[in-house]
Structure 1
Amino acid sequence: KSMLKDLGIAILGTININKEILEKELVNNISYSFYNKSIRGAKGILIHLNTWQDVGISDSQAIVDILRNESGKNRDDIMFSIRIENNLKNRIECTFIAGKFKS
């Protein structure tokens, strides 16, 4: 709740990832649904991953780290959650909200 307080302008982004996508290609697969702005400069980011059960924590952490690097933030400024969904054969869905941009 406190992370979303006084969010100001926020962006919603999604990534649909096949297991085979290389890490350097991940950033190119980010799509911003409503506001085409980079997450760089956001003071807070919430990340939610839907994965299939064969995805390990290290794969999920790699996605979070790539988004963290893209935003230029440290781990304390990012919250994330993971949900296991067996219908996502060989795919990861990532949704994130970034906000509190500098004016």
Structure 2
Amino acid sequence: MGHSDIDRQVVEGALVWITDSPTEVVLRIESTIASHFRKTSLFPNQQLLKDLDDGSLLVTASITDQKQIIPILKYWLPDVEILLPVELKQSLLYELQFSIDQLSR
């Protein structure tokens, strides 16, 4: 990766952690919060895939590290569902269960 590529990524704010292999994330956004995601890009490299008949949205994001998106997902729960990748969904569920376990002691 040349300097111009890195400069472009920094200027565009596309990637916090620079890597050659970003992961695509597919999310379902409930209709109750869909307007926020239509107006503003809240996830890294957010793109609208589809407006669904029930008012919800399918959105993609491109991440290089789960830390880029997990805090945002937590904020918008329960109105955001991770469709892909399954590993991201499992990581979020693990973090949430860990938090519940800590609070339940």
Give the TM-score normalised by the residue count of structure 1: 0.31
Name the structure where helix makes up a greater proportion of residues: 2
